[in-house]
Amino acid sequence: MSKTPNFFVGKTIFITGAGGGIGRSAALIFAREGANIVVTDIDESAAIATANLVKEKGKEALAITVDVASRASIDNGMKLATNRFGRVNFLFNSAGAAVARSKFLDITDQLLEKTLAINLYGTYYAMQAVLPHMLERGGGVIVNVSSMTAKRGGPGTSVHYAAAKGAVDSMTMGVAREFADRNIRCLSISPGPVNTQFQAASNSPPEFMQRAIADVPMKRAAEADEIAELVLFMCSDACEYMTANTVYVNGGGGFR
């Protein structure tokens, strides 16, 4: 939560992967605080559905179909966002996917390339699209989604995904330190298991989520809102001295 009343009112957040999960929760939570919401997702109908939920709360929302694996698509989305709202104060790179679970020796070039395109390149493209705008406007905040797998390595199921998210962590730190003296903060979050459609999208077997929850001392998965509230705090003026960090939000688990 911000320390200044109405801190988010009139400010704009650009969210990738906002058609569901953590991205949708973030859209609704930032709308609750008065922000304008740029809802982007590769699924047009999902983006529109999230934007409509925001509008039902009486807040401004723009739905844009964006493929984060395409620089041109992200650049177009950012242009539409700035044309509509004038500026983008916050970028939340929520889009991501493990694509498919695989043992290391079974990872194909195609699986690795697609995983990197969605998780790493998408984050990279979005940051390159928004940073010149933030520099021109005097600052901003970027929050990227990493993963606990970046710390654990994803053995047996997700080395390709862990590698992509490890690169996101490194890029977050580099961008944060390069632009820290120009009022731009860049952070990442590393969630543990979350109750979203993420696992289903990667065709994870039911026991995968069960094992992940068993490793959490709280013995439950997070809800998407619990992650999104952290993103709100990280973007707020109550968090102005934090940058270059990865924040682990995992119920106490995931470090073995």
Active site residues: 161
The values of phi and psi at residue 151, to 5°, are: -85, -30
**Paired residues of 91 in beta bridges:** 14, 142
CA–CA dist 146, 217 (Å, integer): 21
Going 234 to 173 to 147 to 68, the CA torsion angle's sign is positive
Cα angle 163, 14, 1 (rounded to 5 degrees) comes to 95
**DSSP H helical ranges for the chain:** 21-32, 44-56, 71-85, 109-116, 122-137, 149-152, 159-179, 198-201, 206-214, 224-235
Structural element, H or E, at residue 145: strand 140-145
163: CB partners within 8 A, 6+ apart: 112, 116, 154
